[in-house]
Amino acid sequence: MQTKRTIFSNRVLPYVLLAPQLAITLIFFIWPAFQAFRQSFLREDPFGMKTTFVWFSNYTRLFENADYLNALWVTLIFAVSVTALSMSLSLLFAVCVNRVLRSGRFYTTLLVWPYAVAPAAAGLLWWFMFNPSIGILPYGLRYFGYDWNYRLHEGDAMVLIVVASAWKQISYNFLFFVAGLQSVPQSVIEAAAIDGAGPFKRFWTVIFPLLSPTTFFLAVINITYALFDTFPIVDSTTSGGPSQSTNTLVYKVYADGFVGLNLGPSAAQSVVLMLIVVALTVVQFRWIENKVQY
Amino acid sequence: MVENRPYLNFLTHLILIIGAATVVFPVYLAFIASTHGASDFMSGLVPMLPGDQLASNFSQLLNVGNSVAGAPPFALMLANSLLMAILIAVGKIAISIISAFAIVYFRFPLRLVAFWIIFLTLMLPVEVRILPTYKVVADLGMLNSYPGLVIPLIASATATFLFRQFFLTIPEELMEAARVDGAGAMKFFRDILLPLSRTNIAALFIILFIYGWNQYLWPMLITTDPQYYTAVMGIKRLASVLDGDTQWNLVMAGVILATLPPVLVIIVMQRLFVKGLVETEK
């Protein structure tokens, strides 16, 4: 790994400088992760009197558990919907902002601030709009003969958390798409225009392929966001219901472990989640290496 | 633009106006709700225009809180949030910049190991190790305390990487010149590296301040004493009363108050924020 050509020669100082970061990492990250790993192979009786080593039993039970399989499925639908909805809207807005020259900054300001809204607040904002008794959207939907109620209809609850999560993520995707669009060379676009390609054809055959690194990067980031950062949205709106239709993996770890105090199975769920994060991180860093090469 | 197409220009503005309106609308509605009295929601439909209860709603929430929901005065929660966000941002920057300095400007045994341990924190967000982390904090006696709210969150791989990347772009000659002039490691760090990192520190501060302010799960886990509640977790408490009794005006006033500070930071420092965001995450 890279250092400077000339370096300071002090034997103790670098360790002192690293000590705070390493201490916090070891105490609050590595050690708890190790504990979760260890616990996932143990089973404790309800009174905490006796602990037995059960090999992979917690894991096999997990993947035989209908609730867990349901949570996997729910998380998959949720993550794909949030990513697709948020990224397509952001790309549309970014392309538009990139077209208007003078008012671009004005629209950008209007579009970026949701980045700062806490996920819990975003959840409550949409929860208010979607509330069956006083919300404005159910009121509108009743005109079309649809009885909206996220507390009863599983599909409605999923739509609520997808919309709230996608809304919050639009600003992030938008900024990266704008940055990506600005790095597309103007000469390539002009060349395509001279060859007779109209704006839509230029977008799909020239600009969109050149954006693919940004798109791929954002897809990974959005999936990570949908999997892990949306816990407050679920917790502040549906709490996993109705009948577990919005019980995502992260929410389930919390509900089983912290509320239900089911140590072994909850630890096994944590380990599965860690493996997912590791996989996503590796994919993300591969992307960065590829980007650096050209 | 390559060519001028009035029809397409019109469509572009139309999409942006509809888009911006959709993005702003939920907050507009929340603001409207926070200006009405509790009884205005009985009719079953949210009012669309501002009411006259703005001052009384906000002053009740800030000074008294909501006794029905068991929430303390909101001013206290805002102060806690501010303290927590600033301490997290400063803490993350402080420990990351010295770690990056050690990794770039020194060669020592176990340097790679240290780098990888820091890197691992990326893979272990709070959400995936809730219970054991809670247990560690409980064993250290840090439940219901400011150190408990802050310290477990201030390790930062991304900030360390950002500073490392930046230090690697600083010309070698600067350090050689400093050494010729007889400056030691810490003097070089204080008088040359820190001033050069100013913009990076400011951009990072914005991102990390928002990160700290918006923490939800962690404060919810480790605080049971209302004295340590933060604004973002507090609004959930305002909202979680039996549905019939929800005081929409107060809940939405809470949402506005908890949202306003970070949003203002972004709007006022938009350029620095965009720079910080695009550079931290690459």
Give the pLDDT mean for B232-251: 74
User: What pLDDT, on the 0 to 100 scale, is given for residue A292?
Assistant: 43
Q: Crossing angle for the helix pair B198-213 and B270-280, nearest 10 degrees?
A: 90
Q: A190 vs B152: CB contact, 8 Å cut-off?
A: no
Alpha carbon of B245: minimum distance to chain A alpha carbons (Å): 12
Residues A79, A89: Cα–Cα separation, whole Å:
16
Kindly state the percentage of chain B with pLDDT values over 90.
Answer: 17
d(CA A258, nearest CA chain B) in Å: 7
Domains defined for chain A, CATH in brackets? 65-289 (1.10.3720.10)
Model pLDDT, residue B44: 62
- Chain B residues with CB under 8 Å of A170 CB are 23
CA distance A104 to chain B (A): 10
Query: What structural domains and CATH numbers belong to chain B?
Result: 74-279 (1.10.3720.10)
Cα-based distances in Å from A9 to A13, B105, B107, B178: 9, 9, 8, 14
What pLDDT tens digit does each residue of chain A (294 aa) get?
A: 666 767 787 778 889 999 999 999 999 888 888 888 888 887 776 666 667 777 777 788 888 888 888 889 999 999 999 999 999 999 999 999 988 877 888 888 888 889 999 999 999 899 888 887 777 787 778 788 777 787 778 788 899 999 999 999 999 999 999 988 988 888 888 898 888 888 888 888 888 888 888 888 899 889 989 988 889 999 888 887 787 888 888 888 888 877 776 777 778 888 888 888 888 888 877 766 665 433
Q: Do B179 and A6 touch (CB under 8 A)?
A: yes
For residue B214, give the nearest of B234, B232, B228 by alpha carbon: B232
- The closest alpha carbon to B84, from B207, B190, B219, B175, belongs to B219
d(CA A101, CA B240): 46
CB–CB contact B5 A254 (8 Å): no
3-state secondary structure of B71: strand
Residue B279 has pLDDT above 80, yes or no: no
- List pLDDT tens digits, range B21-42: 989 988 888 888 888 877 766 6
Q: What is the DSSP letter of A259?
A: I
Angstrom CA distances, B171 to A111, A292, B20, B209, stand at 38, 20, 44, 30
- Give every CB contact of residue A68 below 8 A, 6+ residues apart in sequence: A62, A252, A269
- Using a CB-CB distance cutoff of 8 angstroms, which residues of chain B are in contact with residue A119? 214, 216
Chain segment B146-204, per-residue pLDDT in tens:
888 899 888 888 889 889 988 988 888 888 888 888 888 888 899 889 999 988 899 88
Residue B90 has pLDDT above 90, yes or no: yes
Over residues B115-126, the pLDDT tens digits come to: 888 888 877 887
Within 36-75 of B, beta carbons closer than 8 Å to A belong to 41, 44-46
- pLDDT, residue A48, reads 64
Q: Which residue of B has its CA nearest to A101?
A: B1
Collapsing DSSP to helix, strand or coil, A8 comes out as: strand
Say yes or no to pLDDT of B261 above 50: yes
Question: Whole-prediction pTM value?
Answer: 0.89
Q: Is B252 on the interface with A (CB under 8 A)?
A: yes
| Range with top average pLDDT, A78-87, A92-101, B49-58, B72-81 | A78-87
Residue ranges of B 16-35 with Cβ closer than 8 A to chain A: 16, 19-20, 23-24, 26-27, 29-30, 33
Percentage of the residues of chain B whose pLDDT score is greater than 70: 90
- Residues A288, B282: C-beta atoms closer than 8 Å: yes
Residue A169, pLDDT score: 93
B-chain CB neighbours of A179 within 8 Å are: 278
Q: Is the dihedral of CA B245, B246, B248, B249 positive or negative?
A: positive
Please spell the DSSP secondary structure of A26-53, one letter per residue.
IIIIIHHHHHHHHHTTEEE-TTSS-EEE
Residue entry with tokens 């604004």? B231
Query: Are the CB atoms for B158 and B280 separated by under 8 Å?
Result: yes
User: Tokens for A154?
Assistant: 């599983």
Mean pLDDT, chain B, integer: 84
| B157 or B239, which is more confident | B157
Per-residue pLDDT band for B134 (boundaries 50, 70, 90) equals: confident
Q: What is the pLDDT of residue A294?
A: 36
Question: How close B83 gets to chain A, by Cα (Å)?
Answer: 17
Q: Which helix (H) or strand (E) element contains residue B86?
A: helix B74-105
- Residue contact A113–B267, C-beta within 8 A: yes
Chain B residues closer than 8 Å to A199 by CB: 5, 8
* Record: contact A281-B236, CB cut-off 8 A: no
Predicted pLDDT at B69: 59
